[in-house]
Structure 1
């Protein structure tokens, strides 16, 4: 089940708390007015531990726990079971872990949330990371599929396993939305508001364009967190969506 979302643009923007300390992450999350969703990725989680999720939830924020689990089925299930008890509402796994691991992870989040008395989180299957370019993906991973075919096949695998949505580049959103109707969630990183740089993201799009293409929620990090005024940058992104 996808998380309940309002039509308010602030509900559609997930701010990525990447590359910062626990103290900075907590301070920024308090600073940005109207903030509802934050992403905790590997770097922050490794530095601060599970407590960061608890602290953000206690602050009234909704958490996207982006650890991209990818392992054998039993290990993925165990990790998802524990993650679901923390209070995160979105949790990522890699779609290429395969159907058995995806189904085990899906069953585990239900068990973990129920045991902790929490709302069942939505699992999101990562298709192809936004840092990949098609030619490099084909050459280095020895794949014959083009990017669109690869993303589509992984999304189909995820939905067949009962996963609630996918993480994909905004460039693949329109084609995926045509194949997977709501409430199947399509969460898109690689969002760059007007005037921001792409950095290490290869497949990017503006906020309004991505939403129009069919994104459920947008993950935006450095254009907000590295801005001179993060509060103003977040407000500007919301205005882009509202317009």
Structure 2
């Protein structure tokens, strides 16, 4: 089943002001070119300290930070932003792909974590997904997250699929929201446990499988192709 953001949702993501901080010149130029071709305004920095300065001095719709930067790491920049009350969405772009680094990135305040090597097209899709759920976007278009046939109410535990309204549990709502926010990103069972339960409760991966099973049952026929099982790892929202 093919899933793509609706026209209404895609329009929110256009003309965003994006800060990209990356010390690899080739990656910086490539990413900026893709973002600009998608209709965004891009501000570039190639080291942590200058990225920190502009991130705190200016206003952006979203920021993309490499983690390992000269002078100041991407995580340190985000922590400083959050400490000063800046809630700008952030995507980490890094070669540190181990799960503990990913979880550390989300705890630092990131909205997504993209591992190098990466697909620039996929990164643009992820950025658009984050922009669709930003406070400005919700204010303009209502608290709905729309991908393909799914329309998730961000304020109520309700999902609509092909016009049918479905009531979700709080855990089902959180799982579906995270999958819709990060299309084509595979989320491990460990990440979903962290999302639902945090670190204070000992929960096994089987609990996540049960929640996903119940969610698929509610969504009905065809949901298994929407919420795809990545064997031995976790789940992802399929866009193809």
TM-score (norm 1): 0.35
Higher strand share: 2
The structure whose Rg is larger is 2
